[in-house]
Structure 1
Amino acid sequence: MRELADTCRIAVVQMQPTIFDRDTCASRMVETIDRVSRERPSDLIVFPELAIPGYPHGLTFGFVTGARRPAGQLDWKRYYDGSVLVDGPEVGAIAEAARRASSWVSVGISERDATSGTLYNSNVVIDPEGRVDAVHRKLKPTGLERVVWGDAQDHYFPTSDTPWGPMGTLICWVSYMPLARVALYQRGVTIYLAPNTNCNPEWQATLRHIVLEGRCFVVNCAPYVERADYPADLAEPEEVEALDEVVYTGGSCVVDPYGHYAAGPLWDEPGVIYAELDLQQVAASKWEFDPVGHYARPDVLELRVSDR
């Protein structure tokens, strides 16, 4: 492995979004980056899955098997209007904040494709110069997500060449796809970004499995969401009214290559957790197990990845 920076100072933002409101979400992210830069400068600042414009948990957007309700189309179009272009002003403002902070920034967005009407559940990585370095689209939206966001057609497994080694992303339940994880391991990731909306104990167990399997740091960034964060004037408000008062309790954390918490988990409130990652642990942990090195059998097992 190439020589890495010894440490990475990381800030994980358990953000409370205003769902459907891209401007408020983006402004809150810019304010958070600026505050972290002032109060506790960090090399890497991470935001949750779909931080813009929030994860619309509980909404069906009018879809039922074999039919669609017209009112749901109105809510979907509103969410579509709250989604953003990668080269749009919202990501641009976040990129400028990353430049001011001299930090790498990872942010989940509902991405509007510039050439079609499809949305993608995407993660954008911005470098300390304020440039978009990588865009990863969720390979397979989960469950009813498939009627909101499309399957990735490109941008599968990009990695960012950071001072602490390659950094890659898998969004939420794509981390349950074994071969997708291996695709990141083959790229040598030292930091595995896992933006998501899981707040259950089983997900915490998944994170600890991934670090022991991949011998890397895993950054679990989730939102804190209340029912009051939804608009009050949706076309189908009864779906929101049926939700619990607290929709997502968080659980953001950082797990080291040995399966131990380096920060968090943070529960039941929005906030920022901090850690200083010891990157020497990555190489040291591979002494006894390296999934794509001395513990691999490429003569028996082979993964082929399409990078269209």
Structure 2
Amino acid sequence: MTMLPVAICQAKPVPLHIDSGIDKAVELTKAAIADGARLVAFGETFLGGYPVWMDEAPGGALWDDAGSKALHRILMEQAVVTGDERLAPLQALCDDHEAMISIGAHERVRSSLYNNQLLFRPGQAPLDHRKLVPTHGERLVWMRGDGSTLGVHDAGAAKVGNLICWEHWMPLARAAMHNLQENVHVAAWPTVRETYAIASRHYAFEGRCFVLAAGLVQDKADVLDGLERCGGHDAARALIDAIPGDVLNRGGSMIIAPDATVLAEAGEGEETIHAQLDLAQSDAELASLDTDGHYSRPDIFTLDVNTAPQQGVRWGD
């Protein structure tokens, strides 16, 4: 029987200030690994924090808003890049402990920001998953990803993948991931509210896989603190101050089995939850439902997935 010990670190990010966020992620991961975890998951854009001002700040999405522009500049300056040396401590933890870490980050590629859920794994470069469709106001912050970052990591007994937030309501994205034989899935959310918990449990049942639905905890005071760590900005502070209420993200993380039962569940505060995944359960549940196999109708339905990077500009000789 193959067991995989996992954990979700439901924690406050250090909004905007990436170096501080990496330091916190390293300490939380060390503690989770010390308690036995070999896969550790964090919520959506833990590194940099979720840009909640686009949803919650009155006027934040208006054209030419000075506060939003200042915050975007900070995100651009702080964002991680491919091969970023600041991420080396996370890679070292994976290498030293034969562990995996799924963590969200703001990533800069040329002049655009992406919402990337990075999967660190031992002895290899991190596996990228860039959010395919930023939701609603997020489109003012993040670029769309492409099919080149739809994939899973083959860890032997486990095939591990990520999707982010409302991608779990993209039926064809789910079908593509199920086809990759994913049996452990990280569902990254800002808060695992009721409908997001339903989507995560549905994904587990449909895909016959374990799901780590990972959420954040984030207060307005955290965003203001991160802003000050990045040098502050009056217009950005005014925009954040205008957000009603103090609590912006409320956790709700859970670990779900392939039959949709909840194995572990967090509250609204900072905590780390653990579970032991019996990977054989995925195969057992396939007896009744295999959406990529005996419950599919390839004579009726087909799905083509374009995995070519979409660069927009092609340079040739």
* TM-score of the aligned structures, taking structure 1 as reference length: 0.91
Matching residue of 1:90: 86
For structure 2, the residue ranges without an aligned partner over 5 or more in a row are 226-231, 309-317
Matching residue of 2:216: 223
> Where has structure 1 moved over 4 Å in runs of 4 or more?
none
SS at match of 1:155: helix
Q: Could you tell me which of 152, 156, 162 is aligned with 1:169?
A: 162
Q: Does the alignment pair 1:53 with 2:48?
A: yes
- 2: CA distance between counterparts of 1:34 and 1:6? 23
Judge conservation of contact 2:151–2:180 (CA < 8 Å) in 1: no
Q: CA deviation at 1:180?
A: 0.5
- 1: CA distance between counterparts of 2:73 and 2:138? 15
SS at match of 1:290: coil
Judge conservation of contact 2:133–2:145 (CA < 8 Å) in 1: yes
Q: Could you tell me which of 99, 114, 120 is aligned with 1:120?
A: 114
Coordinate RMSD, CA, aligned: 1.7
Judge conservation of contact 2:191–2:217 (CA < 8 Å) in 1: no
- 2: CA distance between counterparts of 1:175 and 1:206? 6
- 1: CA distance between counterparts of 2:147 and 2:140? 19
Q: CA deviation at 1:62?
A: 5.2
* TM-score of the aligned structures, taking structure 2 as reference length: 0.89
Judge conservation of contact 1:49–1:108 (CA < 8 Å) in 2: yes
Q: CA deviation at 1:154?
A: 4.9
Paired letter, 1:238? A
Q: Does the alignment pair 1:197 with 2:190?
A: yes
- 2: CA distance between counterparts of 1:303 and 1:210? 18
Matching residue of 1:28: 24
Mapping 1:64-75, distance limit 5 Å: 64=62, 67-75=63-71
Matching residue of 1:250: 251
- 1: CA distance between counterparts of 2:120 and 2:297? 35
- 1: CA distance between counterparts of 2:192 and 2:207? 22
Closer, same or farther: CA 154–297 of 1 in aligned 2, 3 Å: closer
Judge conservation of contact 1:13–1:272 (CA < 8 Å) in 2: yes
Matching residue of 1:105: 101
Paired letter, 1:35? A
Paired letter, 1:206? A
Judge conservation of contact 1:58–1:243 (CA < 8 Å) in 2: no
- 2: CA distance between counterparts of 1:199 and 1:168? 18
Q: Could you tell me which of 164, 179, 187 is aligned with 1:186?
A: 179
- 2: CA distance between counterparts of 1:151 and 1:122? 10
Closer, same or farther: CA 135–279 of 1 in aligned 2, 3 Å: same
- 2: CA distance between counterparts of 1:16 and 1:279? 30
Matching residue of 2:263: 262
- 2: CA distance between counterparts of 1:17 and 1:159? 25
Matching residue of 1:209: 202
Select between 17-26 and 164-173 the one with higher mean Cα deviation: 164-173
Closer, same or farther: CA 262–71 of 1 in aligned 2, 3 Å: closer
- 1: CA distance between counterparts of 2:203 and 2:166? 12
- 1: CA distance between counterparts of 2:261 and 2:146? 35
Closer, same or farther: CA 249–94 of 1 in aligned 2, 3 Å: same
Judge conservation of contact 2:129–2:162 (CA < 8 Å) in 1: yes
For structure 1, the residue ranges without an aligned partner over 5 or more in a row are none
Percent identical residues: 26
- 2: CA distance between counterparts of 1:170 and 1:261? 19
Pick 1 or 2: higher relative contact order, CA cutoff 8 A, min separation 6: 2
Judge conservation of contact 1:34–1:101 (CA < 8 Å) in 2: no
Closer, same or farther: CA 228–111 of 1 in aligned 2, 3 Å: same
Select between 92-101 and 132-141 the one with higher mean Cα deviation: 92-101
- 2: CA distance between counterparts of 1:12 and 1:71? 33
Select between 174-183 and 50-59 the one with higher mean Cα deviation: 50-59
- 2: CA distance between counterparts of 1:133 and 1:19? 22
Matching residue of 1:79: 75
Closer, same or farther: CA 254–72 of 1 in aligned 2, 3 Å: same
